[in-house]
Amino acid sequence: MFSSGAGDLFQLLRDGRPRTRSELVDETGLARTSVVNRLAALTAIGLVTPTGTAAASGGRPAARLMFDQASRVCIGIDLGATHGTVGVLDLSGEVLRQESRVIDIAKGPTEILTWAVNTAERLLAASGRQQRDLLGIGVGVPGPVEHSTGRPIRPPIMPGWDGFDIPAFVRRRLMATVLVDNDVNLLALGERATQWPAVDDLLFIKVSTGIGAGIILGGVLQRGSRGSAGDIGHVQVPGTANDRDLEATASAPAIAAYLSRDGAVDIEPGDVTNRIRMGDLTAIAAAREAGRAIGEVTAMCVSVLNPSVVVVGGRLGVNVQEIIAGIREVVYRRSIPLANQHLNIVPARGGPDAGIRGAGLMVLDERLCAAAVDELIEQLD
């Protein structure tokens, strides 16, 4: 039986298809008066708008109504170890404006978040929007996050961020709901929405300065009880010296340290990709070995979680084919046959805005759910 709240009725309209009141009566089984009243409430808060008429066999054509995806906006902030992107998105998750720059996450939350908020305010104004149009703000950071509070918890590559109240800092200037998550979770949301919308079970692995995973099962992002689900970077890799963890074995800094081990050259993590592109055989072999190490941990994930798609992203994951080749080599050999029989292991294709798109989708899922929409209507009253 269809629930009778206006928020539940709105969920039908989120697909963007215009409908007449009669069509909504047929879809929901509600009385026409109930549908009319709920549509009036949704129109009052700006989420539903008239859009033309339907063809009629006789009499006056029936008016159509649809989700007004331009009625409000949200902001997505994607912070990595060395990059930052801020974007303004409409209510369909489409990026309207964005801006990126090189950052150093180790400079601490005050400097980095001040830049992000300044950029968000500028992009909001450039989009012709005001703060009252802002539905919410999503923030992704490269470390473990307690999602319920928005505070990073002992993030290994984010000195000064431990326990920092990101939502409170952002709300000093942007008065809206602020949601914070690990950047890999948001990349998983963005990649699925743009590239794999029909896939319910997806594992996204980011290989860059750090290594982590975003897990989507049954179409739902899995955070675990505290938000640490997918933190594979600190899983020990079988067979490595001193049982080193995955980040210490296969991340960009780990590969750079290996290439610099004899002291003849000092390779920076950001130079690893260029060394491979130039045909440095030692760098190529190191990348392939790093891919195999990631494959060892990924194989365990595949056997336990049984995704239909594994997406490999991050600076190394997308740009270094030896990484994904090493992952495939081990996963197809080590995971159980039933789990890998139809498994796709592919490079990320969501592009540079996947992180902010995922941040925006996190906001939309939270702020446009049935209960949240009903709350917006109550606030109007």
Question: What CATH number has the domain bearing residue 44?
Answer: 1.10.10.10
Answer yes or no: is pLDDT of 136 > 80.
yes
Looking at the fold, whether 340 and 367 belong to one and the same domain comes out as no
The pLDDT tens digits for 250-267 are 999 999 999 998 777 889
Q: Quick check: pTM over 0.75?
A: yes
Answer yes or no: is pLDDT of 59 > 70.
no
Nearest to 88 by CA among 120, 48, 41, 49: 120
In the chain, how many domains are there? 3
Residue 318 host element (H or E)? helix 314-319
Looking at the fold, whether 148 and 264 belong to one and the same domain comes out as no
Residue 26 burial (CB count, 10 A): 12
User: How far apart are the C-alpha atoms of 78 and 105, rounded to whole Å?
Assistant: 11
Q: What interhelical angle do 281-305 and 321-334 show, nearest 10?
A: 40
Q: Specify the 3-state DSSP secondary structure of 271.
A: helix
- Per-residue model confidence (pLDDT) at position 352: 87
Residue 249 falls inside a structural domain: yes
Residue 63 falls inside a structural domain: yes
Looking at the fold, whether 59 and 94 belong to one and the same domain comes out as no
Report, as an integer, the average pLDDT of 131-139. Answer: 97
Q: Which residue segment(s) compose the domain that 52 sits in?
A: 6-67
User: How far apart are the C-alpha atoms of 146 and 61, rounded to whole Å?
Assistant: 52
The pLDDT tens digits for 80-131 are 999 999 999 999 999 999 999 999 999 999 999 999 999 999 999 999 999 9
User: How far apart are the C-alpha atoms of 212 and 294, rounded to whole Å?
Assistant: 10
Looking at the fold, whether 59 and 202 belong to one and the same domain comes out as no
Looking at the fold, whether 146 and 280 belong to one and the same domain comes out as no
Answer yes or no: is pLDDT of 1 > 50.
no
In this structure, are residues 155 and 144 in contact, taking their beta carbons and an 8 Å threshold? Answer: yes
